[in-house]
Structure 1
């Protein structure tokens, strides 16, 4: 009834790994499901609302029922929305769970409080604040207790190139013997392009019948590192990018609205920065440079000037590279680069549809042309709009050397393939950390 032929085994395995997203390697596995179990959500809701009800009964028993109910609903919505976002982004690699949890619940509770105030709905602010503190402590404790279970355990088939994933630290690895029956684990990792003898084909069949997912080693490597490394067009797995056009339209609307809000809120600050730049050194406050947008089309990108005027030739490949401790950078420019304030004029590029808030960073035209000649698949970055911040920026920072740019390209291709609102939220959270620490600034 079940064939052990190599082609049929590989077809089932490829079908399994072909439909899984990077996140599914975690979310569909036992470890991913336990990352933030639903019991954690129920516990936070029960304790927060319970404390609210007890405090109201003990201290303010004369509160109207509407205020009691409104506060309970607000607590529930704040915890539920924060939990949902946290659970979705926890499937991606390099997520700092504690920092993300704190930021997300801070945002969810603030949104609920603002909504209640704007709608004029009566509530108990102290109960909401107490619920926020309880929720953060509760989830921090849950993260600590479940730390070991969050690491998936994979069975590794030591054939072909699959052995290279043993160096990855985001999972526990067990080498398997085809003569032994399949052991419960989060998945079997194998090089699907390797030649398999009859014993290994029978083992994979037994794994399939036991409900153990089979993953190509590159899929698992991508899920653990946040990098997409491809050797040929058949392995690129980027053909489905165009299928997510709905999110592209939604993202464009959000970009435009956020840019409008930023201009209104930051307008005076941007004018102040422009004045300080003029006072710090000679030259215009804005720097213009030709870069590439979606589809590889050239556009003029705007930044606050951070270098001395005439310190670089516009079309020079070497001058387009900004190196660590670059002597061309002004005193004020070093601060603007470290805090990413120099990127804010690109809000104008977002208005014009040339850029997004989040996406692969656009390179200067001379650099982009050179990278296209040196690095295969570099042009895939142009499948999405470039961004002020991106997956490569928050994981690797600014680089110029060819080998480092190749590594950066793998991060960019990961973003192109997995572009979604959840990955964008994670990048936004990591960008906040980047701004505070100055990570990757040159």
Structure 2
């Protein structure tokens, strides 16, 4: 009797030995270790280091090795998240890792080699940037699509080389994976084809899951597939997250308080009215709380509930600046200290808007299963949204964050928030 593999011949895209060798992360780490640490150390100190290295030299080698490993590990974890370009993040991540290790050594009264540190830092940043750039431009994801259910609708998503299948076979086309609607009633020959793909180590992805990791959103129309239990956030990480919030705020207050003082003076000098704006908003588990912001609007002007073309006559001159660079959000750090909010999470809506959205947006209140945040996944991906259509998309981002909440996702949001502050993306 013929086997399945003879009926449906398939091959993984990178199944050849040379492909597996070149794409091996362990080999890349080993190659990078020699290029960024071993060779520079030999060039600067010579072979004498291996015979009689002093304590500072040994500590320097250990520190740059740790910084190198941390840099590539962090980049690897973040690069797996949707829409991430590793070559854009390699320099800031490498800079933070090497600067942190160098500072720690100085605080511990060691005298690390500045020349070797700088050389290794430059080579690590260059190695990771070039590596991720090559991977991004010459290793485009290639996915085959089974023509049943929701799977074909994914072919409009950019950044992927889609290969639509007309029959249960790849016809010698090498792909990174196969996408199928596993909840659809597939014909027996297609089920055998998917089994054969698994046998040959070609990943088979469910259509809904593929949509999530390609777009960073959870579709509201298919929320029932996720089950409410799978959208429960990690309670263990929530405790760690609360500690990190407090630690970050206490560490940065000396830098932030002068900015807040200057902002308060500018608001007071521009015209009458309070410095702070307060409003009741819906928070954790649908409990109302009072949010604090710097006032950015005139107190004696009326306007429509929504703006057109990002223009609003109620916003002051100072308000336009502090809104663009998110300075108006700084008083919310005290909301975080009180426990009303977190640094990262879905943005809180006013009570009126929250009740209004609940009538028109399915599952809206479920976003309150976590603490609201000063910045969030929807803000860095989408920007400001007010209308129902925009809120639907925003809610898809919020649900993705709740489902995949983790340190690495929060770290990516922090990085993109810094970009947002510098560029003014999504302000109004």
What is the TM-score when the length of structure 2 is the normalising length? 0.88
Q: Which digits, 9 at most, give the CA deviation of each residue in 1:201-260, with x for residues without a partner?
A: 332232233333322211111111111103255223441344611000000011011122
Partner of 1:348: 334
Deviation at 1:436? 0.9
Corresponding residue to 2:96 among 107, 124, 142: 107
Matches of 1:122 and 1:260, distance apart in 2: 29
Q: Which digits, 9 at most, give the CA deviation of each residue in 1:386-405, with x for residues without a partner?
A: 11111111111111121111
SS of 1:73's equivalent in the other structure is helix
Corresponding residue to 1:40 among 28, 52, 55: 28
Deviation at 1:320? 7.2
Corresponding residue to 1:155 among 128, 144, 153: 144
Q: Which digits, 9 at most, give the CA deviation of each residue in 1:359-397, with x for residues without a partner?
A: 111112111111111100111211111111111111111
Q: Confirm whether residue 66 of structure 1 aligns to residue 52 of structure 2.
A: no
Deviation at 1:195? 2.8
Partner of 2:14: none
Deviation at 1:309? 1.3
SS of 1:146's equivalent in the other structure is helix
Q: Confirm whether residue 256 of structure 1 aligns to residue 239 of structure 2.
A: no
Partner of 1:171: 160
Deviation at 1:99? 2.1
Where does structure 2 lack aligned partners over 5 or more consecutive residues? 5-18
Q: Flag the 1:300–1:32 CA change in 2: closer, same or farther, 3 A.
A: farther
SS of 1:147's equivalent in the other structure is helix
RMSD between aligned residues: 2.8
Deviation at 1:165? 0.6
Matches within 5 A, 1:62-141: 65-141=54-130
Matches of 2:144 and 2:201, distance apart in 1: 14
Matches of 2:44 and 2:23, distance apart in 1: 31
Q: Which digits, 9 at most, give the CA deviation of each residue in 1:92-111, with x for residues without a partner?
A: 11113222111111110111
8 A Cα contact 2:102 2:112, kept in partner: no
Partner of 2:395: 409
Further displaced range: 266-275 or 194-203: 194-203
Deviation at 1:174? 1.4
8 A Cα contact 1:56 1:63, kept in partner: no
Matches within 5 A, 1:265-276: 265-276=255-266
What is the TM-score when the length of structure 1 is the normalising length? 0.86
Q: Flag the 1:236–1:261 CA change in 2: closer, same or farther, 3 A.
A: same
Corresponding residue to 2:176 among 186, 189, 199: 186
Partner of 1:277: 267
8 A Cα contact 2:145 2:180, kept in partner: yes
Q: Flag the 1:99–1:145 CA change in 2: closer, same or farther, 3 A.
A: closer
Partner of 2:282: 292
